[in-house]
Amino acid sequence: AIDPNFEETREREGQERGVDVWGPTDPPEQLGIHGTHVAVDLDICVGDGACLEDCPVDVFEWIDTPDHPESEQKVTPADEDQCIDCMLCVDVCPVDAIDVDPG
């Protein structure tokens, strides 16, 4: 599961598509956590897509992740500013790759 304390345990390496990237990263095999308010651990994500389908405000976008060991497609929280903290994505993710911090 995603580490809910990632802001303390990881370093912010920069941004991709407007969302923070928390390392370590070593693409294409290791992609880190994308997003801060809505955070997706791309190294856990299996590209199931339930979050993207269920989010009422369309926070997530598909990204291609060729050669990642878990999946060749994943989601990034491109519009995390729109999040209304409903927690649906956290509940539906089959691998607990998402952390939403209403604080």
User: SS3 for 88?
Assistant: helix
Pick one of 31, 38, 40, 42: the residue that binds ligand SF4 (CB under 6 A): 38
Phi, psi of 29 (to 5 degrees): -85, -25
Q: Is residue 2 packed enough to be buried (19+ CB in 10 Å), middle (13-18) or exposed (0-12)?
A: buried
Q: Is 83 among the residues that bind ligand SF4 (CB under 6 A)?
A: yes
**With CB under 6 A as the contact rule, which of the stretches 11-19, 24-32, 48-56, 63-71 interacts with ligand SF4?**
48-56
Interacting residue ranges for ligand SF4, rule: CB under 6 A: 38, 54-57, 59, 83-89, 100
